[in-house]
A = this chain, B = another copy of it.
Amino acid sequence: MASERERNPRGHGARLRDELVEAADALLETVRGEEELSMRAVARQAGVAPQSVYLHFADKRALMTAVYALRFRDLLEVLGDATRGLADPRERLLAFAGAYAQYAEQHPGHYRVLFGTAGTTDWEPTQMVGLEAFTILRDAVAECRDDAVESATACLWAGLHGIVTLRRDRPSFPWPPLDGLLSTLVADHTRAPSAHA
């Protein structure tokens, strides 16, 4: 394991930093929560000694923050790409919801780190980034209704979060198909006319 890795050339020690973030990122997918991810496992995955992690990160929290920032930017990009250029607000919201759910499904470990961990006052570095994504939602909702826009937007996000986490954690519940869930979620919170009537 460790013997396979050869040390970085002089002047490029910072490469290990990226390797460590990448290792932690990969391991997060194999694990149920941030707490289960150990510094020693990250070091093993990267092929270095446990202490070497401390060459680049002061402690575990610092490493996790680096992963967190990386993944949040990633998700934001996905959501931006999915919604950009869609003129119809409901179409935009459906695209957002679909991309959000797909991301959560494809990266359950990362999603858990992004939204499933307890945020503390001293550790919510991506608050502003999150608000940026929230703005996409609110603008679209505001185009569809006049009353309770803030609440409806928060419900939309909470609904998305609830759907992806409960589907993941309570798989034995008789879930309706995801497509129907998302379209009902969007239609209801944008007060779209009922498809039935």
Contact = CB atoms under 8 A, between A and B. Distances in A.
Q: Specify how many copies of this chain sit in the oligomer.
A: 2
A147 interface: yes
B191 A176 contact: no
Using C-beta atoms within 8 Å of the partner chain, give the interface range for chain A.
Answer: 35 or more
B172 A121 contact: yes
Nearest to A120: B171
A132 to B, nearest CB: 13
Interface stretch (A29-37, A51-59, A79-87): A29-37
A190 B127 CA distance: 32
A117 interface: yes
Contact of A170 (B36, B119, B183): B119
Contacts of A161: 158, 161-162, 165-166
- Residue from A130, A157, A158, A180 whose CB has the most chain B CB atoms within 10 Å: A158
Interface stretch (A8-16, A41-49, A67-75, A148-156): A148-156
Interface string A159-185: 111110110111111111000110111
Interface of A: 32-33, 35-36, 115-119, 121, 124, 127, 130-131, 134, 145-148, 150-152, 154-155, 157-163, 165-166, 168-176, 180-181, 183-185, 188-189, 191, 194-197
6 contacts: A150-B176, A154-B181, A155-B184, A155-B185, A160-B162, A162-B163
